[in-house]
Amino acid sequence: MIDQCLVWDAHTCLPLLDDTNVAALLLHQQAGVDFVSVNVGMDFNPVADILRFIAHFRHQIEQHPLLCFAETVDDIPRAAEQGKLAVAFDLEGAIMLQNRPEMVMQFQRLGVRQMHLAYNRNNSIAGGCHDSPQGLTALGCEVVLALEDAGIMLDGSHMSEPSTLDMMRIASTPVCFSHTNIKALHDHGRCVSDAQIDACAATGGVIGLSGINRFYGVPEVTAALLADQIDYLRDRVGVAHIGIGLDYMYPAERPEGPEGLDRTYWWPKTAGYFTGLGDIEACAPTQLTSLMTELKQRAYSQEDCAAILGGNFFRVAQQCWR
């Protein structure tokens, strides 16, 4: 906890490698984070690899004395009371469903609690944010219903604007963006428009703000810049719809991704990748204490800070998780 607030980081990335040591997540635990959602696969990862990553990560989490796998929402405050970091998984994309909505429940049983339906590029289910405009397909509508039935949080990150708006129109549970930023402040394909922000809030959802430098257009994201994005959302839709999803990427000792991965396809130069700012950098979880200080200097109340740092995502999880 930070200043008695339950802290929820809606998205982080461990190296997707067979020998990753999940004890790296203690950086989150030592920074006062109580829950973190860990990516276990993207649209370009083969299903067999994703299953291995899930098994490998989960085994280590369940064996570690300071980590706890969050099967239910109630596991999160229970872990916090014990000084442990609660962890669950998320998927980035839907190709791993292999066009079968019934696969959703199988991933839920393996620990996936959050999922978006396309990773940057279009697929048979939804449109990606760096591709030609595409909304949800008929199959995509089925997958949305399957996700809600399974108790997996609907996440609009990395998806096209038409797909996210379609998803929010048909959803009966809150829809979130686990890790994104504000297009009105920096026009990048991974950032959300005012229309998306308004629609998300109308579902009761939460916009999780990332600390990725490219989505701010700066070399380094400070607590003040992150607070500027919080100010924008507060003024537009209110504190109840703001959260944190830093998208911190734990360093890998060797290249990730399947053999033959075309990085310029998934992260196109036309969207600003591999140009300009150099490597992608993200705020570390240790910066959340500075963010709390910055928010208090801007006259956010303790109640507001608690909602932004974790209470809002916790509320949505209570509504979505099964």
Decide if 161 contacts 198 (C-beta within 8 A): no
For residue 141, the number of C-alpha atoms closer than 13 Å in the C-beta half-sphere is 6
For residue 297, what pLDDT band results from cuts at 50, 70 and 90? Answer: very high
Cα 152 from Cα 154, distance rounded (Å): 6
Name the domain count of the chain.
1
Which of 250, 242, 240, 249 shows the shortest CA–CA distance to 226? 242
- Lowest average pLDDT, out of 264-268, 275-279, 291-295, goes to 275-279
For β-strands 191-192 and 207-209, DSSP reports them as unpaired
**Predicted confidence (pLDDT) per residue in 15-69, tens digit:** 999 999 999 999 999 999 999 999 999 999 999 999 999 999 999 999 999 999 9
| Domain presence at residue 13 | yes
Q: Which range of residues forms the domain containing residue 186? A: 8-320
Q: What is the DSSP secondary structure assignment for residue 86, as one 8-state letter?
A: E
For β-strands 85-92 and 248-249, DSSP reports them as unpaired
| Domain presence at residue 148 | yes
Cα 190 from Cα 208, distance rounded (Å): 12
Cα 153 from Cα 161, distance rounded (Å): 18
Label each residue of 144-185 as H, E or C: HHHHHHHCCEEECCCECHHHHHHHHHHCCCCEEEEEEEECCC
| Domain presence at residue 136 | yes
Decide if 79 contacts 157 (C-beta within 8 A): no
Residue 221, classed as helix, strand or coil, is coil
Say what the pLDDT of residue 255 is: 84
| Domain presence at residue 3 | no
Q: Which two tokens stand for residue 32?
A: 């006062």
pTM above 0.95, yes or no: yes
Q: Where are the beta strands (DSSP E) in 70-111?
A: 85-92
| Domain presence at residue 60 | yes
Cα 169 from Cα 275, distance rounded (Å): 36
In CATH, what number is assigned to the domain containing residue 247? 3.20.20.140
